[in-house]
Structure 1
Amino acid sequence: MAKDAQATRDRLVAAARAEFSRQGFERTTVREIAAAAGVNPALINRYFGGKERLFAEAVAIEIDFPDLSRTPRGDIGRALIRHFFARWDGGDGDDVLRVLIGTAATNDEGAARIRDILSGQIEPMVARATGSDRARERACLIATQILGLAYVRYVLALPDTDLPPETVSEAVGETIQRYLFAPLP
């Protein structure tokens, strides 16, 4: 792909993230995204095949789990929660997360992206950390906590004064720890 074409794609993805974050998937139009990117709306179909595929690319997120091999087993749950806070509060993952979580309840593409993250990123991390033959179940349990935490903090915007990150890291970290290593029913 030519350099200019890649630059146009990048502008469209950035504009889509901003518009989806501001208005959600349903209310955002292709024309608004194109206008924000300063391009012809037809380029969205040309480069992405439509709004849904542009959305999928705009909300692509890599969790980038830390190397947990040197983390003491009893600290892995808290380490994971601290990692999520650092990831969400430290970069553009925050906007992408808000868009993805806010949209997933009403949009099949958003829900599919979350399922992709679960199976493609969280489940393999759990399997590496635990060696468990029940990694999928453990990953699903962890996802309930992480997604709920993200929804409350970044979509509903519960302030740190109500639930400080340190409190969450300890309390939810213990729950994650149990999901990782405690016997499952």
Structure 2
Amino acid sequence: MRSSDRSRAAILKAARKRFAADGYGRATMRAIAADACIDPAMIIRYFGSKERLFVAAAQHDLALPDPRTIPRDRVGATLVDAFLSRWERDETIQVLLRASCTNPVAVEHMRSLFATQLVPVAVALLGDTPEAARRAALASSQILGLALCRFVLAFQPVVDMSREEIIAWIGPAVQHHLLGTS
């Protein structure tokens, strides 16, 4: 790995941690640079601005399963399980969700993330119709609401519910939003 690649990777790693700990508003480029053990000018060199650094740090592949390989009656449960797995392993989506509550750049990034990764799931299930986009948006409301309550706001008893309980409660709602069935 080249030195520039290592520096860029160190900056992104430090930015993810700092945005997670401090939020977008309180995270400073100086603190991120200190965490990455680099000069703050390097952040400007590689990313240009705090907003562009945030967008780069918040890049996230939801790694959703191919809906054509899921039994139709298990789509909702399988997707909720996939989201839970992703959130429990990687806090990037949590950082993005926190920031999108107050930052327009994060809001647009979140919209793009779901438009490019969840809408295609609905399209694969329903065909490329306006209803597919609406259904994906409604499923997103359930999924993002779950993430907000469980991982960001830490609402009880949602935090203490088992993975199986969450899937049993939220899976049918996502199933209904995507396919009109439960």
Moved more, 131-140 or 144-153: 131-140
RMSD: 1.6
Q: How does 1:100-119 map to 2 (within 5 A)?
A: 100-119=96-115
Counterpart in the other structure of 2:174: 176
CA distance, structure 1, for counterparts of residue 69 and residue 40 of structure 2? 49
Residue 154 (1) aligns with residue 158 (2): no
Question: What is the CA-CA distance between 1:161 and the residue it aligns to?
Answer: 6.2
CA distance, structure 1, for counterparts of residue 66 and residue 151 of structure 2? 25
Counterpart in the other structure of 1:145: 142
Moved more, 28-37 or 132-141: 132-141
SS in 2 for 1:69: helix
Counterpart in the other structure of 1:48: 47
CA distance, structure 2, for counterparts of residue 27 and residue 70 of structure 1? 43
Q: Which runs of 4+ in 1 moved over 6 A?
A: none
Question: What is the CA-CA distance between 1:68 and the residue it aligns to?
Answer: 2.7
Q: How does 1:125-136 map to 2 (within 5 A)?
A: 125-131=121-127, 133=129, 134-136=131-133
CA distance, structure 2, for counterparts of residue 174 and residue 88 of structure 1? 20
Q: Check the 8 A contact 2:76/2:173 in 1, yes or no.
A: yes
Moved more, 159-168 or 170-179: 159-168
5+ unaligned residues in a row in structure 1: which ranges?
Answer: none
CA distance, structure 2, for counterparts of residue 77 and residue 154 of structure 1? 20
Moved more, 137-146 or 69-78: 69-78
CA distance, structure 1, for counterparts of residue 2 and residue 8 of structure 2? 10
TM-score by length of 2: 0.92
CA distance, structure 2, for counterparts of residue 139 and residue 74 of structure 1? 17
5+ unaligned residues in a row in structure 2: which ranges?
Answer: none
Matched residue count? 179
What do residues 45-88 of structure 1 show as CA deviations (whole Å, max 9, x unaligned)? 11001111000011111101112323211111111111111111
Identity of aligned residues (%): 35
Letter in 1 for 2:102: T
TM-score by length of 1: 0.91
Q: How does 1:54-133 map to 2 (within 5 A)?
A: 54-89=53-88, 91=89, 93=90, 95-131=91-127, 133=129
Counterpart in the other structure of 1:24: 23
